[in-house]
């Protein structure tokens, strides 16, 4: 019994030795059955380097990058003089910098090539192309509609992909560029047939879009075709939008739907919502001649803005224009005759860095002028009144434009320099019908609720509620006046008639009204000497207009060095809450 137990371990060891030795002998024979079984097994399975999957991805990519010249959508795109979506990306971004996200998303027809293998036969990409790219070296997110595929409608899209770019911009604090052409994944009745049921509509992309624009993440849009429904909304919910004048249009619904609802027949896309409508009413900020100019304007606007206003300051560029440059022409910029007009844009271009002025919304709200410029390479917002339109009296459109610009500068940490020459709010029946006071009060609320530093240059008139809102919106207010400045509750024209109605009536009866009016006007003009206001410290300083650039530049450089860094800390700590929406 004992001998059997002792021999068991020995027998087991012998078996193991024999097994190992047999395996080594068998593996040393190249034509052995074991070797043949191993090779067969390897050849039957998928390749170890996943080349089959990578090959199929390459096939899908090749199809996506090759335009289908027989596709009616592509033919229509070219017939209308529009670039294909990938051609647009080539023109917009720095060469070779675009990296696509969701390159394989779309509808694929597969052909089975083995028990477990298949390969793509045809591929229809989603009608929204997105990814990363560089604009003048800055990394951005780009989302672009492909109108050649179902005109951008939902039945050619994947909703999650369309919304993804807006979410990604917020998550990465990265600027987003939207090229809209079509419905941008908006609804189509054919979707009901595809799904087998009708859905309650939503706008899931709006939530991250609003979060991003309030956070100060640049959101820039170009309308490069008919922007319809949600596509139109995506273009408008942006910090800056531009429309291609030769091919762009924007509307809530197309001509066929409009015809059935309002009986307006035969409308073209441009008649319904072309640049002649939306670049004049403020729905779209700027007009461009074509797609290439749209891209240039987007690159230009982005150059003034930080990647995220919540945590970054605007980018400062090297500047060769001397800060202390003297501009003697500004001494005669304002005419001595109060009734004469002047070119406010010429003043702006003279004061700021040469070639740095970029106007926003030049075709709408034309009583006001707003835009972006630089002082010593430092980006700033610019606000001015335009005496060449309605004598500079702020109407509803001008108030809306300045309100929007104040909010833009606030979320982007852009200090504002404003040139004030305002006789007050627009008056008359037209102004009242346009709700001028409603929008004027909204402007006042924007001035008070924003916290970005503002420097005022009082170039001529400062009258009424409008003038008071503009120059008294900060405490203390940083401002200087030009020798041409005049101010008060009411302009003298009309003000004298109101203030001295009884005396003038009596003089009229005596035939001496004109003489009395002249005497009163002369006296008021003498008392309105701007130096008298400076004597009472009603204005901080009256300066030589030729030195305006040095004054505002020194202020801007100080704001960038000592005020804006603290502003970032205040935003991070939740002490201030700039909002664009």
Tokens (6 digits) for 246: 């030769």
Where exactly are the structural domains of the chain? 85-101+126-303, 328-482+543-573
Q: How far, in Å, CA of 493 to CA of 336, rounded?
A: 16
Instruction: State the pLDDT at residue 161.
Output: 83
| β-bridge pairing 106-112 and 118-125 | antiparallel
Decide: residue 493, CB within 10 A, 0-12 exposed, 13-18 middle, 19+ buried.
Answer: exposed
The DSSP-derived string for 486-554 is EEESS-HHHHHHHHTHHHHHHHHHTT-HHHHHHHHHHHHHHHT-HHHHHHTTSSS-B--GGGHHHHHHH
Residues 6+ apart with CB under 8 A from 498: 490
pTM above 0.75, yes or no: yes
CATH 3.40.50.1970 fits 328-482+543-573, yes or no: no
- Average pLDDT of span 203-225: 94
Q: How far, in Å, CA of 188 to CA of 422, rounded?
A: 49
- Average pLDDT of span 29-49: 57
Proportion of the chain above pLDDT 70, given as a percent: 89
Closest CA to 306 of 298, 316, 296: 316
Tokens (6 digits) for 474: 């900060």
Task: Kindly report, residue by residue over 410-466, the tens digit of the pLDDT.
Answer: 999 999 999 999 999 999 999 999 999 999 999 999 999 999 999 999 999 999 999
Q: How far, in Å, CA of 424 to CA of 392, rounded?
A: 8
The residue behind tokens 């833009």 is: 408
User: What mean pLDDT value characterizes the chain?
Assistant: 90
- Average pLDDT of span 159-170: 89
**Strand, helix or coil at 559?**
helix
- Average pLDDT of span 260-274: 92
DSSP 47: P
CB neighbour burial string for 119-153, b if at least 16 within 10 angstroms, e if fewer: ebeebbbbbbbbbbbebeebbbbbbbbbbbbbbbb
Instruction: State the pLDDT at residue 42.
Output: 47
CATH 3.90.226.10 fits 85-101+126-303, yes or no: yes
Q: Name the residue with higher pLDDT: 46 or 76.
A: 76
Instruction: State the pLDDT at residue 187.
Output: 57
- Average pLDDT of span 260-275: 93
Instruction: State the pLDDT at residue 152.
Output: 59
Instruction: State the pLDDT at residue 495.
Output: 84
């Amino acid at each position: 019994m004992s001998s059997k137990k002792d021999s068991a371990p020995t027998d087991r060891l012998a078996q193991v030795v024999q097994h190992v030795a047999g395996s080594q002998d068998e593996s040393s024979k190249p034509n052995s059955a074991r070797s043949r079984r191993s090779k067969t097994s390897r050849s039957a399975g998928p390749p170890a380097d996943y080349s089959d999957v990578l090959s199929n991805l390459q096939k899908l990519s090749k199809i996506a990058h090759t335009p289908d010249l027989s596709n009616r959508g592509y033919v229509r795109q070219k017939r209308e003089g529009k670039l294909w979506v990938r051609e647009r990306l080539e023109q917009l971004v720095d060469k070779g910098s675009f990296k696509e996200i969701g390159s394989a998303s779309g509808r694929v027809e597969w052909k089975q090539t083995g028990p477990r293998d298949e390969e793509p036969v045809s591929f229809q990409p989603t009608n929204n192309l997105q990814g990363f790219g560089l604009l003048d070296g800055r990394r951005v997110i780009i989302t672009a509609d492909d109108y050649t595929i179902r005109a951008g409608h939902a039945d050619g899209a994947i909703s999650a992909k369309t919304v993804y770019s807006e979410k990604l911009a917020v998550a990465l604090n990265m600027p987003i560029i939207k090229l809209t052409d079509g419905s941008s994944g908006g609804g189509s009745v054919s979707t009901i047939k595809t799904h087998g049921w009708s859905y309650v509509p939503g706008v899931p992309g709006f939530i991250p879009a609003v979060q991003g624009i309030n956070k100060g993440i640049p959101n820039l849009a170009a309308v490069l075709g008919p922007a319809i429904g949600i596509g139109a909304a995506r273009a408008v919910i942006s910090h800056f939008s531009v429309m291609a004048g030769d091919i762009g249009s924007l509307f809530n619904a197309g001509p066929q739907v409009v015809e059935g609802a309002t009986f307006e027949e035969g409308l073209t896309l441009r008649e319904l919502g072309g640049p002649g409508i939306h670049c004049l009413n403020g729905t779209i900020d700027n007009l461009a001649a074509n797609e290439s100019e749209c891209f240039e304007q987007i690159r230009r606007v982005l150059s003034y803005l930080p990647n995220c206003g919540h945590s970054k300051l605007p980018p400062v560029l090297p500047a060769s224009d001397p800060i202390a440059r003297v501009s003697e022409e500004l001494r005669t910029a304002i005419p001595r005759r109060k009734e004469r007009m002047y070119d406010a844009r010429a003043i702006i271009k003279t004061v700021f860095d040469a070639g740095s002025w970029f106007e926003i919304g030049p075709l709408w709200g034309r009583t006001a002028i707003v835009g972006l410029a630089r002082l010593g390479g430092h980006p700033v917002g610019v606000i001015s009144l335009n005496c060449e339109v309605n004598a500079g009296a702020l109407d509803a459109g001008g108030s809306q434009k300045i309100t929007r610009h104040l909010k833009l500068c606030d979320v982007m940490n852009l200090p504002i320099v404003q040139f004030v020459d305002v006789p007050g709010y627009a008056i008359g029946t037209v102004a009242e019908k346009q709700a001028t006071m409603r929008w004027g009060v909204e402007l006042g609320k924007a001035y008070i609720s924003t916290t970005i530093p503002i420097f005022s240059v009082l170039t001529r008139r400062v009258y009424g509620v409008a003038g008071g809102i503009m120059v008294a919106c900060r405490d203390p207010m940083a401002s200087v006046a030009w020798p041409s400045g005049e101010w008060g509750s009411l302009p003298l024209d009309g003000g004298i008639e109101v203030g001295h109605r009884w005396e003038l009536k009596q003089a009229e009866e005596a035939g001496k009204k004109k003489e009395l009016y002249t005497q009163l006007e002369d006296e008021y003009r003498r008392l309105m000497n701007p130096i008298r206001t400076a004597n009472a410290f009603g204005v901080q300083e009256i300066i030589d207009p030729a030195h305006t650039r040095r004054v505002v530049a020194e202020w801007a450089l100080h704001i960038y060095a000592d005020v804006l860094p603290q502003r970032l800390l205040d935003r991070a700590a939740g002490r201030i809450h700039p909002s664009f929406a």
